[in-house]
Amino acid sequence: MEPSDKVVETVIVGSYVEMETEGNPKTMKTRLSKFFWHGGSVYDAWFSCASNQVAQVLLTLPYSFSQLGMASGILFQLFYGLMGSWTAYLISILYVEYRTRKEREKVDFRNHVIQWFEVLDGLLGKHWRNVGLAFNCTFLLFGSVIQLIACASNIYYINDNLDKRTWTYIFGACCATTVFIPSFHNYRIWSFLGLIMTTYTAWYLTIASLVHGQIEGVKHSGPTQLVLYFTGATNILYTFGGHAVTVEIMHAMWKPQKFKAIYLFATLYVLTLTLPSAASVYWAFGDMLLNHSNAFALLPRNPFRDMAVVLMLIHQFITFGFACTPLYFVWEKAIGMHECKSMCKRALARLPVVIPIWFLAIIFPFFGPINSAVGSLLVSFTVYIIPALAHMFTFRSAAARENAVERPPRFVGRWVGSYSINVFVVGWILVVGFGFGGWASMTNFVHQVDTFGLFTKCYQCPPPSPLLHNVTAPPPQPPPSFQQHHHLRSP
pLDDT at 424 exceeding the cut of 90: yes
pLDDT at residue number 455: 67
pLDDT at 491 exceeding the cut of 50: no
pLDDT in tens, 82-109: 999 999 999 999 999 999 998 888 888 7
pLDDT at residue number 54: 82
| Nearest alpha carbon to residue 256 among 264, 265, 247 | 247
Confidence of residue 31 (pLDDT cuts 50, 70, 90): low
Region 5-24: what's the mean pLDDT?
41
Region 27-31: what's the mean pLDDT?
59
Specify the length of the chain in residues: 491
pLDDT at residue number 368: 67
Q: What is the DSSP string of 412-465?
A: GTHHHHHHHHHHHHHHHIIIIIIIIHHHHHHHHHHHHHHHH-TT-SSTTPPPP-
The count of C-alpha atoms lying within 13 angstroms of the C-alpha of 414, restricted to the half-sphere facing its C-beta, is: 3
pLDDT at residue number 16: 42
When comparing pLDDT for 197 and 451, which is higher? Answer: 197
pLDDT in tens, 312-348: 888 888 888 888 888 888 888 888 887 787 788 888 8
pLDDT at 36 exceeding the cut of 70: no
CB atoms near residue 461 (< 10 Å): 20
- Listed in sequence order, the residues at least 6 apart from 106 whose beta carbon sits closer than 8 Å to its beta carbon are none
Mean pLDDT of the chain: 81
Confidence of residue 372 (pLDDT cuts 50, 70, 90): confident
* From 68-82, 135-149, 209-223, 262-276, the region with the lowest mean pLDDT: 135-149
C-beta of residue 116 within 8 angstroms of C-beta of residue 139 = no
pLDDT at residue number 283: 96
State the DSSP H helix or E strand holding residue 16, giving kind and residue range, or none if neither: helix 2-21
pLDDT in tens, 52-61: 888 778 888 9
Region 158-167: what's the mean pLDDT?
78
Which residue type is seen at 340? Answer: C
Region 274-280: what's the mean pLDDT?
96
Confidence of residue 384 (pLDDT cuts 50, 70, 90): very high
Angle formed at CA 146 by CA 141 and CA 150, multiple of 5 degrees: 150
DSSP 343: H
pLDDT at 18 exceeding the cut of 80: no
C-beta of residue 455 within 8 angstroms of C-beta of residue 164 = no
Region 190-207: what's the mean pLDDT?
92
pLDDT at 182 exceeding the cut of 90: no
Confidence of residue 470 (pLDDT cuts 50, 70, 90): very low
Region 140-164: what's the mean pLDDT?
81
First to last CA, the chain: 65
pLDDT at residue number 303: 92
* From 59-68, 144-153, 258-267, the region with the lowest mean pLDDT: 144-153
Task: Find how far residue 434's CA is from the centre of its chain.
Answer: 17
pLDDT at residue number 154: 79
pLDDT at 467 exceeding the cut of 80: no
pLDDT at residue number 477: 45
Q: Is 465 helix (H, G, I), strand (E, B) or coil?
A: coil
pLDDT at 445 exceeding the cut of 50: yes
Confidence of residue 145 (pLDDT cuts 50, 70, 90): confident
CB atoms near residue 489 (< 10 Å): 12
pLDDT at residue number 32: 62
Region 467-479: what's the mean pLDDT?
43
In whole angstroms, give the CA distance from residue 119 to residue 130. 11
Region 338-360: what's the mean pLDDT?
84
In whole angstroms, give the CA distance from residue 445 to residue 430. 20
C-beta of residue 42 within 8 angstroms of C-beta of residue 249 = no
pLDDT at residue number 89: 93
C-beta of residue 93 within 8 angstroms of C-beta of residue 119 = no
pLDDT at residue number 409: 87
Question: What residue ranges in 5-102 does DSSP mark as E strands?
Answer: none
Confidence of residue 456 (pLDDT cuts 50, 70, 90): confident
pLDDT above 90: percentage of residues in the chain: 33
Which CA distances in Å does 477 have to 265, 380, 456, 460, 462? 43, 33, 9, 7, 8
pLDDT in tens, 206-239: 999 999 999 998 999 878 888 889 988 988 988 8
Region 270-288: what's the mean pLDDT?
95
pLDDT at residue number 265: 93
